[in-house]
Amino acid sequence: MAAPLDFVDTHHHLWDLGRFHYDWLSGEGWPGHTALLGDYSSIRRDYLVEELLAEFATANVVKSVHVEAAYAGPDPVEETEWLQQVAEEHGFPHALVVFCDIEAEDADAQLDRHCACDNVRGVRIRAHPDDVTDPAFRTAFAALGRRNLSYEQNASPGNLVSGRDLARDFPNTQIILGHTGFPLERTDEYFQRWRTEMAELAEAPNVAVKISGLGMVDNAWTVDSIRPWVLSTVEIFGVDRCMFGTNWPVDKLFSTYADLVAAYAEIIADFSRDEQEQLFSRNAERYYRI
């Protein structure tokens, strides 16, 4: 029997609700999130690194990437500074994808403050814009390339293809599509629309994709129900431009950590060992420089 695969989790969160404010994790939560996730009261509590590391231990996790968690306080850099301290104390996470309003007047200064933390590798904004030709957005986007920061495209079908055009215009900036393109429906028609847009996005060689977050719409997912989305993504982007993430602890609502990682392993079990290692760890190490 082959040794277990090392796993690099490319998409997880931590939050300390006594330290920072997150609107969507406060009180009764957000109705939109409840409509998407169901009752998510079980994750509206502190989720700290000690708990995450215990879950990592069930799936041979060797490195991880933290993605900003919709912090709603006055200064997102304070979240980044806290996470850097966590990383220095516990050895995880190895890379940070931070939030910055890149079109704000103080965006350059804020990016520099983020980048003072050694583990910062990329930026995610709240939603990928409808118009990437807007001069203000393009000026702001250029600031990422000057700092060797990746851009995490946070978009669903209907707004995926503009990422290809943005990538072509900024060929030296790495774009990483989050959550498998965040498909919001599970009909055959929608699947074909998603495939078409993913294929157009993949035309730009500087776009990679994280396979994650599939449980947020498919709350009762099974290996068979997520298999087409996983295999289609790898088919479209190629083994060398895909990587896995868990979206923990959000997807903790729908499975155990070990079961999700095992599902990924089962779906790609017929791939070569080299391809499996690319998808499980090596691509993530390359894209996030960890």
| pLDDT tens sequence across 259-279 | 999 999 999 999 999 999 999
1 pLDDT exceeds 70?
no
Structure tokens at 54: 């215990």
Summarize the confidence of residues 224-231 as an average pLDDT.
98
3 pLDDT exceeds 90?
no
Q: Is residue 277 part of a domain?
A: yes
Q: Choose among 166, 233, 245, 148: nearest CA to 195.
A: 233
Helix and strand tally (H, E) in the chain?
11, 8
Question: Residue 282 has what DSSP assignment?
Answer: I
Q: Is residue 256 part of a domain?
A: yes
The model's pTM: 0.97
Summarize the confidence of residues 48-52 as an average pLDDT.
98
- What span, in angstroms and rounded, lies between the C-alpha atoms of 272 and 8? 18
Q: Is residue 1 part of a domain?
A: no
Summarize the confidence of residues 107-121 as an average pLDDT.
97
Q: Give the CATH number, domain containing residue 172.
A: 3.20.20.140
- What span, in angstroms and rounded, lies between the C-alpha atoms of 1 and 125? 43
- What span, in angstroms and rounded, lies between the C-alpha atoms of 183 and 225? 13
212 pLDDT exceeds 70?
yes
Which residue range forms the structural domain that includes residue 99? 7-287
Summarize the confidence of residues 47-56 as an average pLDDT.
98
Summary mean pLDDT of the chain: 97
88 pLDDT exceeds 70?
yes
2 pLDDT exceeds 80?
no
Summarize the confidence of residues 88-112 as an average pLDDT.
96
Q: Can you give the three-state secondary structure of 127-154, one letter per residue?
A: CCCCCCCCHHHHHHHHHHHHCCCEEEEC
Decide if 226 contacts 257 (C-beta within 8 A).
no
Q: What is the pLDDT of residue 155?
A: 96
Summarize the confidence of residues 242-253 as an average pLDDT.
98
Q: Which residue has the tokens 């290996």?
A: 223
3-class SS of residue 57: coil
Q: How many domains does the chain have?
A: 1
Q: What is the pLDDT of residue 61?
A: 98
